[in-house]
Structure formats: C-alpha cells, structure tokens
A and B are shown apart, each in its own frame.
Chain A
Amino acid sequence: MGEVSIERVGLSFKSRKGDDVVALNNLSLHIPDKQFAVIVGPSGCGKSSLLDIIAGLKEPTGGQCKLDGQVINGPGPERGMVFQNYSLFPWLTVLKNVEFGLSLKNVAPSERIERARFYVNAVGLNGFENSYPKQLSGGMKQRVAIARSLANDPKILLMDEPFGALDSQTRTVMQELLLGVWEKNQKTVLFVTHDIDEALFLGEKVYVMSARPGRIIDTLSVDFPHPRNYDMLTSPPCLELKRRIHHNLHTEVHKAMAAAAA
C-alpha cells in the first residue's frame, strides 16, 4: 500500500525581513495507492516544501499528512525521495550508492548486492556498477538516484523536479525510463515539476498548484494508456489539457509577480 492523505496542511515561516510568509495554506489532497500523481505549479509556490513535509524533512505548521492512515512525523525509508541533484554519495560507487538503504537495514550482503544489481539494470546502468558519481553524466546520476530509492522498496516515491537540471533530450529519455520502471513495479509516485509537458506525459492525475500560498486549484485526469509515447503530447485532447494548465498557471504567475512587486 502507499496511500497518501494530505489534510489541511499549512506552512508558514518568518522571512528575513520579519514578515510572516504563508507558503502553504490549508492544502488537502488524497493520492490513492499506485497512482502516478504530478503536482505542477509556478516556482516558489511551495510544491517542494509539500514534498519535504510528506518526506518528513519539514514539519508543517498546521494540519497533517498520513501514509496508509499513519500520521507522518519524521523521515523514513517507506517514503523514498529523489532530489534535483547533488544527492548521490560521491564516496560510494554506483552499486554501493544503490545498496545504501539496504545496508542500513542490515540486509545480508549477498541479497543486498543482488537487489542493487537488479535496480542498476532496471535503470540501464549495467557496466557502471563500479563507477564513482563524478564519472557519470547528469542523467546517469539521476538514474542512480532513482535506482537507489527503488532498491529500498518504498511505499511511495517522492520526486522533486528530478530532471530539472538535465538538458531537454536527456530529460525526455529519463521520463520514458521512469514511466517504464513505474509500469513494471507499480508504486505510488508523487512527482513535482513546473514543466507542463512533463506533468502530462508522466501523470495519471495532474494537480495544479496556485502561487503562494500554495493550494490545489485544479485536478486533471490524463486518460492516456500505457505504455505512453511522446507523440501523445501533440494529440488534440492532450493539447486541450495543456491549454487548461497553461491558462491556470499563467494567471498564477502574474499573481505571484504582482505580490512580489507589492
């Protein structure tokens, strides 16, 4: 199981100037088990903070999050996270990075290596088991990060703009790879991005988030069958969804800029 309930979550903090900043306000969202959910929102809307709260890395100042009915307080291996970058352990080889979570759980070395190898192969990095992160390209590093999270067998995979730092060709390849992996071992995924194409190509459900304070302002079902092909993005129904998200986000971005100027 991997069912997430976000219940009236709020997050506020004091800015450097001493003003109260409300990053998230009364945000509620239910993500059923095995769903590929995408949150798309403008920069600074608090979508990464929401992910940090679910991961247990940040405490909400109001409301609560639950995984399978259990209130989240603090991080745990059942909620894996893939960060935008700089998250691989540079002193460990690819295989050792992927083994990291398992080694913390005292899984026997032989089983550990076997499972790590399985996921290294799943992200297409066979042959690079003994390379160090500094020898890998940006896309390869993110593959390792995905394999490392999956090897831990989490109930939900939280992804914080994991392909945001990659060039657009690599990003497409990584999106296809992630979908392939997800199709094979269905897990709940909560993926955060500001890229509308990425949201539509990956998501079963796309949640559109407002500018600060972040709320969910629209929910879209992307009813395209799997396996998906990148051509779906230029099909009329998809373009219609894209237009709808675009319209919502555009309004939000203007609001955000007006608020920043005020």
Chain B
Amino acid sequence: MGTAQIALLKVLTPRREISRGLGLSAGALIAGLIFLFWCVLTYGGLVDTTFCPPPHRVLLALWKVLADGSLFKHAWSSLVVINLGFFLSSLIAIPLGIMMGSFRIVAAALDPVVNFIRYLPVTSMIPLLILWIGIGLEEKVAVIFIGTFFQQIVMFADVSAQVPDELFNAGYTLGASRRQVVMKVLLPATLPGVMDVLRVTMGWAWTYLVVAELVASNSGLGYMSMQAMRGLHADLIFVAILVIGFLGMVTDQIFKWIKAVWLPWAGQR
C-alpha cells in the first residue's frame, strides 16, 4: 500500500483524530464550494439575479446599510429583544427546572402543564399575543419567552435529574443538611449542564425572534428582511440572513468561552 492510500484509510477510520491543518482545509473547502456554486449560478446567468443576487451586490447592500446606520439599528433592536426574552426565560426556568428534576413534588405539580404547553407551537399563540399586547417590544419578548421557557425547563430538569445519587449521599454523610445539599452539591453539580442547555436554547430563541419579527414588527433584522421582500431587494434579505447567522455564531462562541473559563473542572467525572 502506498503512503497516500494509508493516509486515506486513516482519515476514513471512525473517531480517528486528524491534523488541525487538514480539518481547517476541509472546512474551507466546503465553504468555498458553496460560494463557488453561488458565483456560478449568478454570474453564469443560470438564475434571475432579481431573486438571487450575485455576491458583489450583497456586499454593496451590506455596505449601504452599514453606512446609513440602518443595519446597526435593526440588529440592536433584535439583540435587545432576544437577550431580554432569553434572560427572563432562563432566570425563571433555571431554578424551577432544577427543582423539577430533583424534587418529586415539583415534578408532579408542573409536569402536566409544562408537557402540554411544550408541544404547542409558540407561533400558534402569536395572534393572541398581538391582540393582548400589540406588536411592540413586549410582544416579541413574550414570543421568545414562551418559545424558550417550556423547552428550557424540561432540559434543566433533565440536567438536575442526571446528578448522580452518590453526590447527594456523599454530601449527607459528610454532615450536610438538606439545604446545604441543595446549595453546595446540587446547584454546582448542574452548572455545566445548565451552560450547555443555555447554549442550545439560545439557538432556538433566534428562530422565535425572527418568526416574531416577520409576523408583526416595526424593527429588527426579520422586519428588515420583510421590508426588503416587499421592495424586491433580495440582496438585502441575503444581508439580513448573513448577519443573523454571524450573530448566532458569535453568541455560540461566547457561551463556549464562558464555560471554558468559568467551569474549567467540567468534563468527565
């Protein structure tokens, strides 16, 4: 077997590590291919550029909304809404979910309601929310809150339920009271799981945000997109999508970074 063949077999072995350089090149290759495909479609005249603009027009549109400040205004509006909704939801869902996962009585009390609402698409409630609180900030925050909260609480409960019995028992036999077991054992034990759930649900919160802004809004990236559609500015829609993707990616990295710095002990037990 030649060395090239051996190298190929190594790459095709499940779970086998690859070099950093190879990993980065693979990522760049896929991204590059997609970009190339976009170029071929648009510059090659294969699609109507009114509906699918070429890269340089998207860049120009980006430049325009950056220069006139409208991108910043809409992005800021979206960020305020998502962070507010997400923060409020997490603030209540974390303690409630942790209790739900470790106190049978809390689980018994909340399970029926939570599991019913959890399967209701939050979008089905938007008309009602608009009737009640209009289309301003409060309505969009409410959409994110409802969409996120009932998912989060179940996931936090799961994190809490996964804390091994041995940790509780170790606490008790070292002299901890019930209260101390909750504060000094259960809570710290859930931290890595809580961070992971926050990271995952933040991604979902972006979806609810955009839905809320598309349906009824007068600001935000979703609204910007909707306005662009009405004026047939597909390039602006592309800008909005790219910016949402970019902000989501940055948020994800921030969560990862916080976990690595704040919880260096997390990992296998």
Residues of A within 8 A of B (CB): 55-57, 75-77, 79-81, 83-92, 100-101, 104-105, 132-134, 145, 148-149, 152, 158
- Per-residue contact bits, chain B 257-269, to A (CB 8 Å; 1 contact, 0 not): 0000001111111
- Min CB distance A193 to B, Å, is 18
- B164: which A residues are within 8 A, CB to CB? 86-87
Residue of A nearest to B191 (CB): A91
Interface majority SS on A: helix, strand, loop or mixed? loop
Whether the pair A81, B173 counts as a contact (CB closer than 8 A) is: yes
- Per-residue contact bits, chain B 174-185, to A (CB 8 Å; 1 contact, 0 not): 111000100011
- A100: which B residues are within 8 A, CB to CB? 171, 174, 184
* Contact among B166, B176, B191, B268 with A87 in the assembled complex (CB-CB below 8 Å): B166
- A89: which B residues are within 8 A, CB to CB? 167, 170, 185, 188-189
Residue of A nearest to B172 (CB): A75
Bound CA–CA A92/B164 (angstroms): 16
Bound CA–CA A41/B269 (angstroms): 29
Q: Which of B85-139 contact A (CB under 8 A)?
A: none
- Min CB distance A130 to B, Å, is 11
- Min CB distance A211 to B, Å, is 25
Can you list 15 A-B pairs, Cβ within 8 angstroms, ordered by A? A55-B173, A76-B173, A81-B169, A83-B170, A86-B269, A88-B269, A89-B170, A89-B185, A91-B189, A91-B265, A100-B174, A101-B175, A104-B174, A134-B265, A134-B269
The 7 closest A-B pairs by CB, nearest first: A77-B175, A101-B174, A75-B172, A81-B173, A132-B265, A87-B166, A87-B170
Whether the pair A83, B169 counts as a contact (CB closer than 8 A) is: yes
Residue of A nearest to B175 (CB): A77
Bound CA–CA A17/B230 (angstroms): 64
Given contacts A77-B174, A101-B174, contact A90 B265 (CB under 8 A): yes
**What would 13 more interface pairs be, CB under 8 Å, given A86-B167, A132-B264?**
A75-B172, A81-B169, A83-B166, A87-B167, A88-B269, A89-B167, A89-B185, A90-B189, A91-B263, A101-B175, A133-B269, A134-B265, A152-B174
- A91: which B residues are within 8 A, CB to CB? 188-189, 191, 263, 265-266
Bound CA–CA A104/B184 (angstroms): 10
* Contact among A57, A84, A145, A152 with B172 in the assembled complex (CB-CB below 8 Å): A57
Residues of B within 8 A of A (CB): 164, 166-167, 169-176, 180, 184-185, 188-189, 191, 263-269
Bound CA–CA A195/B133 (angstroms): 69
- B172: which A residues are within 8 A, CB to CB? 55-57, 75
- Min CB distance B53 to A, Å, is 50
Residue of A nearest to B174 (CB): A101
- Min CB distance B269 to A, Å, is 6
- Min CB distance B103 to A, Å, is 18
- Min CB distance B245 to A, Å, is 34
Whether the pair A148, B174 counts as a contact (CB closer than 8 A) is: yes
Whether the pair B173, A79 counts as a contact (CB closer than 8 A) is: yes
* Contact among A87, A92, A101 with B169 in the assembled complex (CB-CB below 8 Å): A87
Whether the pair B263, A57 counts as a contact (CB closer than 8 A) is: no
- Min CB distance B130 to A, Å, is 45
Whether the pair A90, B175 counts as a contact (CB closer than 8 A) is: no
- A75: which B residues are within 8 A, CB to CB? 169, 172-173
Bound CA–CA A98/B269 (angstroms): 17
Whether the pair B167, A104 counts as a contact (CB closer than 8 A) is: no
- Min CB distance B121 to A, Å, is 37
- A152: which B residues are within 8 A, CB to CB? 174-175
* Contact among A77, A90, A133, A134 with B173 in the assembled complex (CB-CB below 8 Å): A77
- A87: which B residues are within 8 A, CB to CB? 164, 166-167, 169-170
- Min CB distance B189 to A, Å, is 7
